[in-house]
Chains A and B, each alone.
Chain A
Amino acid sequence: MYKIRIHGRGGQGGKLASKIIGSAAFLEGHEVQDFARYGAERRGAPVESFVRIDKDKILERGYISDPDCVIVLDETLLDLVDVTYGLKKNGIIIINTIKKYPKFKKKGFKVYSVDAATIAMKHLGKPMYNTAMLGAFANISDLIDFEHIKQALQHEIGKKVGEDYIQKNMDAVHEAYEEVVMQ
């Protein structure tokens, strides 16, 4: 089973990102389950969401405390939350940043970074970092492809936002896919 934990702040689209990863992986033919930690939801509060992907029916539910991959939408969380909690040995951490994080590399994790903030502002004009981070995740995990991400976006938000905005998001996905680098 492949387990993903997404850390973000309320309003950055972390919950939607877990839904898109889940939907896209489902379209690829995997068994999936997506879930989020709910609290007193408000913009800016630390939030977490989770995806499980497997070839067999998924039995385990709830929070993920032993992820294979952690996606960090907002690097200011790194001072507040132990985002690597339970992350498996050689686990992947993808951070929205332009900085280096040698401390994670020293712990044996594979650290990737992408400037999702700039990419999101360029294509969407607002700080919704989720779709750019999806592009980075697609590259590193090799679990989901562009076509299925697009279909998942259309399914989850298509009715609300229209085709033009989906395309802008896909532009962000493509750019982050190209830009993500290993630290």
Chain B
Amino acid sequence: MLKKKEKQPSFTLVRKRVPYLFILPWIIGFLVFTLGPLGSSLIMSLFDWPITGEAKFIGLNNFTKMFTADPQFYDSLVITFKFAAIFVPLNLISALVLALLITQPVKGVKIFRTIFYLPAVVSGVAVSIIWGWIFNSEFGVLNYLLSLIGIEGPSWLIDPKWAIVTIVIASAWGVGTMMLIFYTDIKGIPPELYEAASIDGAGPLRQFFNITIPTITPTILFNVITSVIAALQQLTLVLLLTGGGPLKSTYFYGLFVYNNAFKHHQLGYASANAWFMFIIILILTMLIFKSSSTWVFYEAEMKKGGKK
């Protein structure tokens, strides 16, 4: 998925301006709607910027406040990382399991594939509303079903231990996109590889670990990065489903920023918060990329070591 070996174009282009024309719309969009606002918000982060009244330049005070005087900053950061630590592996594994299931040679897999993907087409608002009802501890369907098999379900949205689990479950419901990406990749593995392995006497489990996993490592890398980014930015669900509670157990960083801006009216401080999140994401992504050289195998290496 990530990187296929590039073939150099066999011609040199005379008209040098052409490619720039093709990327021009993107460049305009990027400059006006991304880079501009990005810069503005960096400037805002150096100000005490209330909703009403004059903005006041305060240097790095917003950042100092964030690091030294706001315990909620650390709490939210920790909770968000905790969420990412549960969500990312769970999501990856379930996506992979589902993808493997729908690559099995059984009847009707196409229908299953479609059904598994359906939750991923639903908006975050809809997900919050639907799961809010399912998780209601008193009147929710989930606890009712659990009670039928003799389990007393927890108070999902009241008990801080479980609330984060509800967010994980509700987010993981949309695992379909990742499943599809794995699926297309697994489907792309040449069957000869498996045939050769079977002849060598490798069972399905060994085939999975020796062929499937190494081949799809670039895709795993891609999925790890996108889901880490998504997890760290999670906002819609905590805003609409739990409101950050109970006991601030789901007061994710995204909500922290959102509330500072739109509830407490501290636009400068919120900009500083948001920029910090941006930097964290950049660093994390870079670290994951760095680590990838040890566990991601690209096509070229595969061929060298392969059986072809």
User: Do A and B make up one complex?
Assistant: no
